[in-house]
Amino acid sequence: MRFLQSKLLLIGSGKWPEKIASIVQSQNLVSEITNIAAREFLKLGTKQVEMLLQGNTLWIATTPENQLMILEQIKGLSNKIIIEKPIALNLVQLNRLFTHNRISNNKLYVSEPWRHSEIWEKAKNKLTSVSGLKKLQINRGGPIERDYMDPPWDWMQHDLGLLSELLSINDRSLEFQCKFLNDRKNLKIIIESRDEYQIDVNLGWFQERTEQWILNDKLFIDFADRDSFNDQPICNMFKFVCNDEFTSDLESQVWLASAIITKLEEIKLA
């Protein structure tokens, strides 16, 4: 695979888009970066949008609803597009995302830098080599609260994306239990897979940033410990998307998150 340096159009405002721009620029991964707020982009006409996206890799870093509106606006184009988490806050938004993905020529990829990190590759190899029942306790979250969504949505895809590489979409023995706690500030997800995995995930509000995986009662990974790895996952992911052989399989990438969103919808309607 060959990395193709491209121009980057970054849609969104705030600290995260600023961090993305700083990192990819520092590693000389793009020839040019253009940054525009989501609301300003949505005001543009068709010709303006086509000119702005010409030759660009697109990275959308905004709310799920704005993200969907932008994807609808550019459905007639053929760009590589990185979309941010959360991908959806309910089943309606998720289905809209999948519909766009099926009818559009754009190639979508959910921003999951940890999938492309050295620490995850080592952890995944170690996990698959451990025999017997593996009990995983995952705690992910922080003190962030947003007015348009409950805290668990901010963190859900981080670990479900990684877990989807360990579990199989075709495993009929998979069982899910989900429950909101602490006035919907936290979400508890229990996943069981035959005699292989027993996974307890706690997402949402924590007093301080928490990103830990505990395996059989021992700390296994602390993603918050940035001194424990030397690579740059964001750059690794960006290079993966920009290579000349990149192909998109969005629904496979988010199959586990999709299953959990569907489960939460069933609970809401019960």
- For residue 87, the domain's CATH number is 3.40.50.720
**Is 266 part of a structural domain of the chain?**
no
Question: Structural domain tally of the chain?
Answer: 2
Based on the domain organization, do 244 and 217 belong to the same domain? no
Report the largest interatomic distance among the alpha carbons of the chain, rounded to a whole angstrom.
58
Token code pair at residue 155 = 């963190």
Q: What is the mean pLDDT of the chain?
A: 93
The CATH number given to whatever domain includes residue 204 is 3.30.360.10
DSSP 41-104: HHT--HHHHHHHHTTEEEEE-S-HHHHHHHHHHTTTS--EEEEPSPS-SSHHHHHHHHHHHHH-
- Rounded Cα gap, residues 56 and 68, in angstroms: 19
CA distances from 251 to 8, 98, 116, 144, 187 (A): 24, 7, 18, 28, 23
**Is 133 part of a structural domain of the chain?**
yes
Based on the domain organization, do 105 and 169 belong to the same domain? no
Based on the domain organization, do 72 and 130 belong to the same domain? no
pLDDT, tens digit (0-9, with 9 covering 90-100), for 210-234: 999 999 999 999 998 877 778 899 9
Based on the domain organization, do 198 and 220 belong to the same domain? yes
Based on the domain organization, do 53 and 186 belong to the same domain? no
**Is 241 part of a structural domain of the chain?**
yes
- Print burial letters for 65-89: b (CB count within 10 Å at least 16), e (below 16): ebbbbbbeebeebebbbbbbbbbbb
Token code pair at residue 69 = 């509106």
Q: What pLDDT does residue 171 have?
A: 81
Whether 77 has a pLDDT exceeding 90, the answer reads yes
3-state secondary structure of 185: coil
**Is 97 part of a structural domain of the chain?**
yes
Based on the domain organization, do 156 and 204 belong to the same domain? yes
- H or E segment and range at residue 256: helix 255-269
Based on the domain organization, do 60 and 91 belong to the same domain? yes
Contact predicate 185/155, CB 8 Å = no
DSSP 113-153: GGGG-HHHHHHHHHHHH--S-EEEEEEEEES--BTTB-HHH
Based on the domain organization, do 96 and 145 belong to the same domain? no
Whether 98 has a pLDDT exceeding 70, the answer reads yes
pLDDT, tens digit (0-9, with 9 covering 90-100), for 166-195: 998 778 789 999 999 999 999 999 999 887
User: What domain range is 24 assigned to?
Assistant: 6-113+233-249
**Is 254 part of a structural domain of the chain?**
no
Based on the domain organization, do 107 and 239 belong to the same domain? yes
**Is 270 part of a structural domain of the chain?**
no
Sequence letter at residue 116 = H
Q: What pLDDT does residue 5 have?
A: 64
Based on the domain organization, do 20 and 91 belong to the same domain? yes
**Is 265 part of a structural domain of the chain?**
no
Nearest to 57 by CA among 81, 35, 26: 81
**Is 267 part of a structural domain of the chain?**
no
Q: Tell me the sheet residues that pair with 177.
A: 190
Contact predicate 143/190, CB 8 Å = no
pLDDT, tens digit (0-9, with 9 covering 90-100), for 6-38: 789 999 999 999 999 999 988 888 889 999 999
Average pLDDT over residues 142-164: 95
Based on the domain organization, do 184 and 173 belong to the same domain? yes
Based on the domain organization, do 160 and 223 belong to the same domain? yes
